[in-house]
Amino acid sequence: MNKEAFRKISYGLYLVSSVKDGKFNGQIANSMFQVTSEPSTIAVSINKENLTHAYILASRVFSVSILSEEAPMNFIGLFGFKSGRDVDKFKDVKYRIGKTGAPIVLDHAVAYLEVKLIKEMECGSHTIFVGEVVDYDNIRNDPPMTYSYYHTVRKGKSPKTAPTYQQEEPQAAAAAPTTAASYVCSVCGYVYNPAVGDPEHGVPAGTPFEDLPDDNDLEGDP
Amino acid sequence: MNKEAFRKISYGLYLVSSVKDGKFNGQIANSMFQVTSEPSTIAVSINKENLTHAYILASRVFSVSILSEEAPMNFIGLFGFKSGRDVDKFKDVKYRIGKTGAPIVLDHAVAYLEVKLIKEMECGSHTIFVGEVVDYDNIRNDPPMTYSYYHTVRKGKSPKTAPTYQQEEPQAAAAAPTTAASYVCSVCGYVYNPAVGDPEHGVPAGTPFEDLPDDNDLEGDP
């Protein structure tokens, strides 16, 4: 029973966005597949705790931006680690409003699918949403990001002491030379370093991981 | 509206196997993801026409073998193109019977997950099966096959005139030098050449694609 088995499932990296009462939110997800081709439907698995989950249930529409291999860490970290309850994730991001009213993030996306929810299935901590694709298009021809690329190639550029991806929830990293411990989003790999904080999003240096808003929109490894 | 958008979704290549009345069957699938981590559950999307679908509904157990990058074409073709109604797919394949009674194919697999069905959701031509993973393990350390690898690298070794992957159902290929037309499994890329037939499985040379059993276990692109 080697847990490594689960890491051999192949995934992409996607940005699932929705709308509620005129507000936009989005999050990183990896669990998405096409279900049928006639009509074109897709399924995504979203954590019930996440704000995006509430938005999808409310508006019954969402979009999926398929992220590019070159999507930068801070962009993925914004959508994968921050909560839309605390920050407006769409403030500095290029997007347009789709046919359904859902926002479609265009930055660092190679393609998008826009979806009307057909049905949902509760599965413990997550809900699988199945929707009909009502619009879609190519955006650019960069290769799409895969989970494997993100964790092997991107980590390849990090210092050896950087925490390696773990399937489990955020945890203390292997001791890094300049920090006591860092925390890693188990989906996107975003690293939170308490010694540094996250000044860009109003988190002062020295803020312990435990004191971060616990309602953040982190999509834990499903 | 460029259909290329759908091809940017990342997938692996999996062999989903089940059991019914002591008989085994399995098929190639690409639509699989983990849903929750506590407990560990996964979802797969299976075409209702497929024999494996009936087996899963009957026994409510299945296994998923995560295929290796080196899985050969004839192996993938056997599970992706043939029907268990016509051939015993397990005859010459290395497998073992798992805890649930489902067969677990070990040939060309890097890892497996064995599953008890929890619930299912009908989605038009397909059903999404969600199951709890009751056993799993690593098998070998080869890289797992991805859809992208299969269609780019594997095709890279084929002649330029070989049919390229199409999302649509089996269709006439671009004219190949030695054949009138070939047909391609939209999931696994298995090429059926009517001029050659499939002597290995009792299909004589000259058998038109249209005359192949139409109840085959081909998992059409979902």
For B69-110, the pLDDT digits (tens) are 999 988 988 898 888 888 899 999 999 999 999 999 999 999
From chain B residues 89-118, the ones with a CB under 8 A of any chain A CB are: 110-113, 118
At residue B152, does pLDDT exceed 60? yes
Greatest mean pLDDT range, A72-86, A120-134, A149-163, A174-188:
A120-134
Task: Report the share of chain A in percent with pLDDT over 90.
Answer: 58
At residue A51, does pLDDT exceed 90? yes
| Confidence band, pLDDT 50/70/90 cuts, at residue A222 | very low
Greatest mean pLDDT range, A78-87, A180-189, B7-16, B166-175:
B7-16
Task: Report the share of chain A in percent with pLDDT over 70.
Answer: 71
- pLDDT value at residue B98: 98
At residue B158, does pLDDT exceed 80? no
Nearest to B2 among A37, A121, A138 (CB): A138
Query: Å from B54 to nearest chain A CA?
Result: 18
At residue B118, does pLDDT exceed 70? yes
Is A32 in CB contact (< 8 Å) with chain B? yes
- pLDDT value at residue A10: 95
At residue B13, does pLDDT exceed 60? yes
At residue B54, does pLDDT exceed 90? yes
- pLDDT value at residue A163: 29
At residue A177, does pLDDT exceed 50? no
Is B35 in CB contact (< 8 Å) with chain A? yes
* Cβ contact A111–B148 (<8 Å): no
Mean pLDDT taken over chain A: 80
Higher pLDDT: B4 or B208? It is B4
ipTM exceeds 0.85: no
- pLDDT value at residue B52: 96
- pTM attached to this predicted model: 0.77
Mean pLDDT taken over chain B: 80
Task: Report the share of chain B in percent with pLDDT over 70.
Answer: 71
| Chain B residues touching residue A130 (CB < 8 angstroms) | 121, 123, 128
- pLDDT value at residue B214: 41
* Cβ contact A34–B6 (<8 Å): yes
Query: Å from B189 to nearest chain A CA?
Result: 17
- pLDDT value at residue B211: 62
CB atoms < 10 A from the CB of A82, how many? 24
At residue B45, does pLDDT exceed 50? yes
Return the residue of B nearest to A169 by Cα: B37
- pLDDT value at residue B67: 97
* Cβ contact B138–A167 (<8 Å): no
- pLDDT value at residue B83: 84
Q: What is the mean pLDDT of residues A124-132?
A: 97
- pLDDT value at residue B142: 92
- pLDDT value at residue B195: 72
| Chain A residues touching residue B38 (CB < 8 angstroms) | 124-125
Residue type, B219: E
Q: What is the mean pLDDT of residues A148-164?
A: 51
Q: What is the mean pLDDT of residues A179-202?
A: 61
At residue A171, does pLDDT exceed 60? no
A9-43 burial, b for 16+ CB within 10 Å, e for fewer? bbbbbbbbbbbbeeebbbbbbbbbbbbbbeebbbb
